Structure 1
Amino acid sequence: MAPLRQKAAVVGENGTAVLTEVNVPKVGPGQVLVKVVAAAQNPSDWKMAKELKAIGAVLGLDYAGVVEEVGADVPAGLRYIGERVCGFVKGAEGPSGAFSEYLVGSAKYAVIPIPAGWSFEDAAQIGVAGLTAVLALWEGNTGLPTPLAPTTTPFPILVYGGSSAVGIYAIQFAKLAGLRVLATASSRNFDVLKDYGADEVFDYKDPEVSQKIRAATGGKLRHAVDTISEGSSGAIIAAAFGEDGGHIGQILPYSSPEENVTVKFVLGYRLLGEDFELPWPFKATPEYREHSEKIGKFLAQILALGKVKPMPKLILPKGLASVQEGFDYMTSGKVSAQKITYKIADTPGVSA
C-alpha cells in the first residue's frame, strides 16, 4: 500500500528544482501507480520547468520502477502488481512526474517491461530516448528495415548527434537493422560511438564534415536522424545527401533545407495517448493511440533481442535532492555521452 505523502522534486521559483513533500497521486482508469526506483534526466526537464513555471508541479519524465497498483479499465494481463516497468510521463505540469517516490502513468502508452538483465538505473533511460529513436528512424524515414527483419544488403544512414541519448539508441537500432551507420560527434566520443555500433564517426565541428560523409557514402546517403535539430544541423545533413536528396527524422521542427529533402518532426509526448497544447499542439486520435501502442510493443521486442546496451550513467549522489545540481550540470554543457540518473532511495529521508 502506497503512503499518502512522498518526497518529490518540484518546480520552484524561476523554474528551479526544489525537493519537498507532496501527495502521492491517485491512480485513475487506464492507469498504473508505479513505485519509482530510478529516474533519468532529459533536456526537456529543465526546459519545461523554465518555460511553464508551473510552481509545485512534479518534475521528471523518464522512470523505472515497480507497479504498485493497477487502475480500473486496464485490460486484463496488460500490467500486474509487482511488474518491473519503465517509460516516461509528462512531468513539470502536474502532480505526477518521474522525480518522485511514486507516479501515475498510462498502463498502455509509453510504458514497457524492463528488459531482462537491465537494472532499474539502466532502464530509467529507455523511455524518452528509446521511444524517440524508434520514431525518428521509422516515422521520420521510409523504407528502413528493422531489427526484427534486418536487411542483408546494408545501405547508409546518418545519425547526427550520435553521442546524445537518442543518438546512442538510434545507432544501435539502425545497426541491428543491418544498416551501415554513420554518426557525427565530438572527437572525444568517437570510440564510444563505435563501441555502440557506429561504422564511421565524423567530427561535427569539421567545416568539411558534409563533404566527407558524402564521399564516404559515394553520394548514396538517403536517410538520416537529426537528434540535435538546431543551428545548422539540417543544412549539414542535406549537404551530405547525394543528388537525389533524402529524408530526415528530426526531434525539433525546422523547414526542409533543400527542395529534394523531406523532414519529419517526431515528438515522444505524442505516444502518451493524450491531447496537449505544449510544447506544440497535438490531438491524440484513435489511430495515433493505436500507433502509439504498437510503437511501445515494437521497442519492447527490440530490447528483448538482448543486443541493446544502456548508455553510460552519471548517478548523482543524493537522489532527488541532486536534481537542481543535475539541471546546472546539463545547462552548463557538461553532459556528453552519459545519462544523468537519480536513485530515489539515495534521497535524504527516503527509505528503499
Structure 2
Amino acid sequence: MASEIPTFMKAVVYDENLQVSVREHPVPNISDDDVLVKTVAISLNPTDYKHIDGKFGKAGSILGCDYSGVVVKVGKNVHSSPKVGDHVAGFVHGSAYPDEGAFAEYVKVPAELVWVVPANTLSHEQAAAYEVAFWTAAQAFYAPGRLGLVEPPAKAATPDWVFVYGGSSAVGLCAIQLARLSGYKVITTASPRNHELLKSLGADVTVDYHDPDVVSKIKEVTGDSLKYATDMIGEVETHRIAIEAIGSTGGKLVGLNVALQKTEFGRKDVTITEILLYSVFGRAFSIGPFHIPAAPEDRVHMAAFIKKLPQWILDGALKPIPVKVWEGGLEGVLGGLQYIREGKASGEKIVCRV
C-alpha cells in the first residue's frame, strides 16, 4: 500500500500572512515510531479558529487536530499495532508544523498516540468527534497534577460529586461519561434543550446555565460538598461560577484557558489549574505569548490511557457523541469553523469528510 501513497496531497495550510486555504502540500514523511494515516473524517474544534483569529499558527503549517482514517504505512519500530489497514483515530498538534496537522488527506502521528477503532462500532465521523474532546476530558480528570479523579476501570470509593460547566460542549459530553465511568455523580450546566441528552450520557443533575441562581442550586444539590469542578468553556465568568459552586471546605478546578492562570478569583481554598492538551506530545511549545514547557509525563499518561478506549467502546461503556456532518470536505472547513465561532454548535460535534 505504501507504493500507492502520493508525493503531494490537499491540505488546509497557513500562508505567509497566516491565512489558511486548501492547497497542494507534501505528504509527510514518517519516522521509525510513526504511522501514516489516510484521513476519512476530521472534526473541528474552537482551538482551530482561535489559532487563525489570534495569528497563532505557523506559516506553512497544516491546520487541524482531530482525524479518523486508515493506516497506510508504519515505521520500522511499529511491530504489532496499529498495522496497515487498521481504522484508527487520534489527535495531532495542528497549526504548528508543516508535516503535522489533521486537515489533510494524510496525517503523520506517533504510533503510541493513536487508538484502533473496533470493527462495527464507531463510524469514521463518530471516531473523529471523540479526539480533542475526549482527550481533554481525560487530561483534566486524570493526568498528573490535574483534578485527581480515580481513573477507570477503577471506581471512586465514595460517589462524590463532579461539576462539569459546559456539559453540552464536546468536551463536556465526554467528561460526563468519563466521570460516571469513574464512579462519580455528575452535575452539569447547559441550555434546557440539551438536558435530556446530557442525562442520557450519565449526568445526574442538569442546571440551566442562564439561571441567575445557578450557584445556589448547585450548592443545594451537592449539599455544599462539591470538591471537583471543571470549566469546559474557559471564560472569566464561567470560572467564577465553577469556583463559587465548590463547597465551603474547598476543592479543585481545572479549566481550559491558560490566559486565566494569573486571574484572582478570591478563593484561597480552591486550587485552579489550566490545561492545554498539546502537552500530551511531551515537547515544549508556544501559543502566542504563552510558552508551555515539555511535560513528558503527560505523554506517558495519555499513551497508556487511550489504549483503554477500544474496550470501553466495545462494551458500550462510552457512547458516541452527536455529530453534524459539514459538507464540502476540506473546502468546507472554514465554513464549519465559522459556525462554531458564532456559537451555533451545541450538543454536537462538527465533522467533515475528507
Question: TM over 0.5, yes or no?
Answer: yes
Q: Shift in Å at residue 52 of structure 1?
A: 2.5
Is the CA contact 1:147–1:302 (under 8 Å) kept in the aligned structure 2? no
Establish whether residue 305 from structure 1 lines up as the match of residue 315 from structure 2: yes
| Counterpart Cα distance in 1 of 2:339 and 2:16 | 19
| Counterpart Cα distance in 1 of 2:197 and 2:42 | 23
| Counterpart Cα distance in 2 of 1:322 and 1:203 | 32
Q: Shift in Å at residue 16 of structure 1?
A: 4.5
Find 1:84's aligned residue among 87, 102, 105. Answer: 87
Is the CA contact 1:148–1:302 (under 8 Å) kept in the aligned structure 2? no
| Counterpart Cα distance in 2 of 1:134 and 1:167 | 11
Change (3 A) 1:300 1:263: farther
Is the CA contact 2:283–2:296 (under 8 Å) kept in the aligned structure 1? no
Find 1:262's aligned residue among 245, 268, 271. Answer: 271
| Counterpart Cα distance in 2 of 1:17 and 1:341 | 18
Is the CA contact 1:16–1:324 (under 8 Å) kept in the aligned structure 2? no
| Counterpart Cα distance in 1 of 2:225 and 2:115 | 36
Partner AA of 2:137 in structure 1: A
Aligned-partner SS, 2:126: helix
| Counterpart Cα distance in 2 of 1:149 and 1:256 | 35
What is aligned with 2:147?
141
Find 1:314's aligned residue among 315, 321, 324. Answer: 324
| Counterpart Cα distance in 1 of 2:302 and 2:97 | 22
Is the CA contact 2:187–2:206 (under 8 Å) kept in the aligned structure 1? yes
Q: 1:183-206: CA deviations, max 9, x gaps?
A: 011222112211211111111121
| Counterpart Cα distance in 1 of 2:85 and 2:182 | 33
Establish whether residue 201 from structure 1 lines up as the match of residue 200 from structure 2: no
Is the CA contact 1:12–1:55 (under 8 Å) kept in the aligned structure 2? yes
Partner AA of 1:43 in structure 2: P
| Counterpart Cα distance in 2 of 1:19 and 1:73 | 33
Instruction: Compare 250-259 and 326-335 and name the one that shifted more.
Output: 250-259
Q: 1:63-93: CA deviations, max 9, x gaps?
A: 001111112333x224211121111111122
What is aligned with 1:294?
304
What is aligned with 1:231?
236
Partner AA of 2:191 in structure 1: S
Is the CA contact 1:211–1:239 (under 8 Å) kept in the aligned structure 2? no
| Counterpart Cα distance in 1 of 2:47 and 2:205 | 29
Structure 1 regions of 5+ residues with no counterpart? 345-352
Is the CA contact 2:118–2:310 (under 8 Å) kept in the aligned structure 1? yes
What is aligned with 2:189?
184
Partner AA of 1:269 in structure 2: Y
What is aligned with 2:221?
216
Q: 1:296-351: CA deviations, max 9, x gaps?
A: 3344554453221121111112111101111211112211111110111xxxxxxx
Q: Shift in Å at residue 235 of structure 1?
A: 1.6
| Counterpart Cα distance in 2 of 1:82 and 1:149 | 33
Change (3 A) 1:17 1:195: farther
Partner AA of 1:267 in structure 2: L
Q: What RMSD in Å do the two structures reach over aligned CA positions?
A: 2.0
| Counterpart Cα distance in 1 of 2:82 and 2:216 | 50
Find 1:323's aligned residue among 326, 333, 345. Answer: 333
Partner AA of 1:275 in structure 2: A
| Counterpart Cα distance in 2 of 1:284 and 1:296 | 20
Partner AA of 1:124 in structure 2: A
Instruction: Compare 118-127 and 77-86 and name the one that shifted more.
Output: 77-86
Is the CA contact 2:130–2:321 (under 8 Å) kept in the aligned structure 1? no
Q: Shift in Å at residue 175 of structure 1?
A: 1.3
Partner AA of 2:117 in structure 1: I
Aligned-partner SS, 1:189: helix
Q: 1:4-25: CA deviations, max 9, x gaps?
A: 1212222357654422222211
Is the CA contact 2:229–2:243 (under 8 Å) kept in the aligned structure 1? no
Change (3 A) 1:59 1:177: same
Q: 1:131-179: CA deviations, max 9, x gaps?
A: 110111123212x334412246422110001011110000011112221
Instruction: Compare 248-257 and 232-241 and name the one that shifted more.
Output: 248-257
| Counterpart Cα distance in 2 of 1:70 and 1:161 | 38
Change (3 A) 1:284 1:218: same
Q: TM-score, normalised by structure 1?
A: 0.90
Partner AA of 1:305 in structure 2: D
Establish whether residue 61 from structure 1 lines up as the match of residue 71 from structure 2: no
Structure 2 regions of 5+ residues with no counterpart? none
Establish whether residue 173 from structure 1 lines up as the match of residue 174 from structure 2: no
What is aligned with 2:108?
104
What is aligned with 1:6?
9
Is the CA contact 1:249–1:263 (under 8 Å) kept in the aligned structure 2? yes
Q: Shift in Å at residue 112 of structure 1?
A: 1.3
Change (3 A) 1:300 1:25: same
Find 2:131's aligned residue among 122, 127, 144. Answer: 127
